């Protein structure tokens, strides 16, 4: 964290006025580990809400008084069940502002995305009334769907934090809803391609019986099939962990056989009773995906090890959920793979964040940080003027055709997706090693 930021928070000389309108919403796609309420380390007491719903922060001693700035709305959950997430994201956005807005072009305006789609739509009217044309957030699908019509009608650019690919296709010449969350599709494609490149062709999955678990299961099946791999079996488990050992045992003992040994043309799952099947005819899983983290992940891996009586070799793989200290603390996960951004830059952000707020940020904080940094850079390029959809889509710097952020290279696509180049990380003792680096630049589309 730059000394300027910490010093300027203590030595206030100008006002950043933030407008707060409301509440929160549960995210069906992202399950961050929240921490207690956020305070700023060695700073004045938290700013209290005024009667007119305005928030006052401390001044920057580098501010240019009376300079007209571009207003950028942070449309996030600042109250209710997800308020801690909202304030974490606000903190990350604030760090990005002080790290990057050296020309003092940006004014962040806080707008609460509230608790329901109806409340989100109502709160969004405040953004329209203030003629704000760039919005960072919201996080959750129902809120995005609720504001879609107003975004288009009022020619607004929304950089949401969603990872729901079903929301793609909401970009016009004058308005856009971009999806900057970490796409499950990208993660699955990356890790499957890497495994196939290592001649591991037989896949299985043990997933939680949740919408996220079912989504990853479907993606894995389709991706393996599209790349001529062999999908063996999928199993789900309940959140309470009941019968988990039986679920694991079914997976590690599952196999497919060639069509000639199965009943029905092309049926590889049901044995023909008249066929003699040797062990060489059976294709057991080589790769087992576990799209979960923390205690559940550790329990499943331990069960695999305990019940693997035939000592088959299984490569355990996962998703970016694994980018967590709990993964490093589990020695049984050593050698496991997952697809995610390289995390060196996030560790630096994490250190800066902790040094400023005395809290650790959720992994989603990097996306809020990068979103603000992108907007700052684009407005700087336009000499303090507001940005347009084409500015984001056509961005090119140093021949990379994308932005280089905390989570690596990314770019805004005309279909509304935010494309990312992910790495493959391997779990080691106390660290994640990069075993396949992300591509260093994007090809032009």
428 found inside a domain: no
- The CATH code of the domain that includes 116 is 3.40.50.2300
Average pLDDT of the segment spanning 288-315? 95
Within this chain, do residues 254 and 271 fall inside the same structural domain, yes or no?
yes
Within this chain, do residues 242 and 289 fall inside the same structural domain, yes or no?
yes
DSSP sequence for 361-405: PPTTHHHHHHHHHHHHHHHHHTTTPPP-HHHHHT--STTSSSEEE
Within this chain, do residues 223 and 330 fall inside the same structural domain, yes or no?
yes
Q: Model confidence over 261-286: pLDDT tens digits?
A: 665 544 444 555 545 666 677 899 99
The pLDDT value recorded for residue 276 is 60
User: Which contiguous run of DSSP H or E holds residue 194?
Assistant: helix 184-197
Q: Helix, strand or coil for residue 70?
A: strand
Residue 369 or residue 400, greater confidence? 369
Exposure string over 249-284, b if 16+ CB within 10 A, otherwise e: bebbbbbbbeeebbeeeeebeebeeeeeeeeeeebb
The pLDDT value recorded for residue 20 is 36
The pLDDT value recorded for residue 34 is 35
437 found inside a domain: no
For the cut 70, the answer to whether the pLDDT of residue 49 exceeds it is no
228 found inside a domain: yes
393 found inside a domain: yes
Contacts 24+ apart (CB under 8 A), 292-297: 292/207, 292/208, 292/213, 292/318, 292/321, 293/318, 293/321, 293/322, 293/324, 293/326, 293/327, 294/324, 294/326, 295/326, 296/208, 296/237, 296/241, 297/322, 297/326, 297/327, 297/330, 297/333
Within this chain, do residues 43 and 104 fall inside the same structural domain, yes or no?
yes
What does the alpha-carbon distance between residue 272 and residue 257 come to, in Å, rounded to a whole number?
10
What does the alpha-carbon distance between residue 414 and residue 408 come to, in Å, rounded to a whole number?
20
User: Which tokens in the block code for residue 72?
Assistant: 């950028």
For the cut 70, the answer to whether the pLDDT of residue 408 exceeds it is yes
Closest CA to 287 of 202, 387, 169: 202
* Tally of structural domains, the chain: 2
Residue 51 burial (CB count, 10 A): 5
Within this chain, do residues 333 and 307 fall inside the same structural domain, yes or no?
yes
The pLDDT value recorded for residue 428 is 92
The pLDDT value recorded for residue 264 is 52
The pLDDT value recorded for residue 57 is 38
The pLDDT value recorded for residue 271 is 52
Residue 76 forms beta bridges with which residues?
112
Within this chain, do residues 89 and 228 fall inside the same structural domain, yes or no?
no
427 found inside a domain: no
What does the alpha-carbon distance between residue 350 and residue 172 come to, in Å, rounded to a whole number?
36
Last residue of a domain, one of 340, 364, 389: 340
Within this chain, do residues 244 and 350 fall inside the same structural domain, yes or no?
no
Within this chain, do residues 43 and 18 fall inside the same structural domain, yes or no?
yes
Within this chain, do residues 356 and 334 fall inside the same structural domain, yes or no?
no
127 found inside a domain: yes
What are the angstrom distances between the C-alpha of 41 and each of 44, 63, 147, 346, 358? Answer: 9, 23, 36, 20, 5
Exposure string over 202-224, b if 16+ CB within 10 A, otherwise e: bbbbbbbebebbebbbebbbebb
Within this chain, do residues 306 and 334 fall inside the same structural domain, yes or no?
yes
431 found inside a domain: no
Last residue of a domain, one of 324, 340, 356: 340
Within this chain, do residues 140 and 20 fall inside the same structural domain, yes or no?
yes
Within this chain, do residues 104 and 32 fall inside the same structural domain, yes or no?
yes
Sorted by sequence, the CB contacts under 8 Å of residue 279 that are 6+ apart come out as none
Please give the residue range of the domain that contains residue 41.
3-182+343-420
Contact 80, 138 (CB under 8 A): no
What does the alpha-carbon distance between residue 90 and residue 101 come to, in Å, rounded to a whole number?
16
Out of 29-43, 161-175, 250-264, the most confident range is 161-175
Last residue of a domain, one of 340, 369, 399: 340
34 found inside a domain: yes
Which pLDDT band, with edges at 50, 70 and 90, does 400 fall under? confident
Instruction: For residue 232, give the DSSP letter.
Output: E
């Amino acid at each position: 964290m730059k000394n300027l930021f910490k010093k300027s928070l203590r030595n206030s000389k100008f006002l950043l006025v933030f407008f707060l309108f409301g509440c929160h919403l549960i995210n069906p796609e992202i399950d961050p580990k929240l921490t207690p309420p956020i305070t700023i380390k060695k700073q004045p007491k938290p700013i209290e809400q005024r009667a007119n719903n305005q928030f006052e922060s401390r001044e920057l001693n580098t501010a240019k008084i009376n300079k007209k700035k571009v207003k950028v709305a942070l449309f996030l959950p600042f109250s209710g069940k997800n308020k801690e997430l909202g304030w974490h994201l606000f903190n990350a956005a604030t760090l990005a502002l002080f790290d990057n807005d050296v020309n003092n072009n940006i004014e962040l305006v806080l707008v609460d995305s509230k608790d329901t789609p109806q409340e989100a739509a109502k709160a969004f009217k405040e953004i329209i009334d203030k003629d704000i044309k760039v919005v960072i957030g919201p996080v959750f699908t129902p809120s995005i769907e609720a504001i879609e019509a107003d975004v288009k009608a009022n020619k607004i650019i929304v950089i949401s934090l969603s990872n729901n690919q079903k929301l793609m296709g909401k970009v016009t010449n004058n308005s856009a809803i971009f999806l900057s969350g970490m796409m499950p599709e990208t993660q699955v494609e990356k890790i499957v391609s890497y495994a196939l490149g290592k001649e591991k062709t037989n896949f299985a999955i043990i997933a939680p019986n949740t919408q996220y678990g079912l989504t990853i299961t479907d993606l894995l099946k389709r991706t393996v099939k599209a790349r001529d791999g062999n999908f063996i079996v999928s199993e789900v488990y309940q959140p309470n962990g009941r019968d988990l050992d039986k679920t694991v045992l079914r997976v590690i003992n599952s196999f497919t056989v060639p069509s000639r040994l199965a009943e029905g043309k092309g049926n590889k799952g049901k044995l023909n009773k008249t066929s003699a099947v040797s062990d060489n005819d059976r294709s057991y899983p080589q790769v087992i995906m576990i799209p979960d983290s923390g205690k559940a992940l550790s329990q499943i891996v331990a069960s695999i090890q305990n019940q693997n009586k035939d000592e088959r070799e299984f490569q355990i793989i996962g998703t970016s959920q694994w980018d967590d200290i709990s993964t490093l603390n589990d020695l049984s996960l050593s050698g496991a793979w997952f697809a995610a951004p390289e995390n060196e830059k996030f560790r630096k952000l994490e250190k800066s964040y902790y040094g400023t707020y005395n809290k650790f940020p959720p992994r989603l904080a990097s996306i809020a940080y990068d979103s603000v940094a992108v907007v700052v850079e684009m407005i700087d390029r336009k000499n303090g003027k507001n940005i347009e959809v084409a500015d984001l889509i056509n961005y090119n710097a140093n021949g990379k055709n994308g932005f280089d952020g905390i989570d690596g290279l990314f770019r805004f696509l005309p279909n509304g997706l935010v494309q990312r180049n992910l790495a493959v990380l391997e779990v080691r003792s106390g660290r994640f090693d990069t075993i396949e680096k992300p591509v260093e630049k994007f090809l032009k589309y």
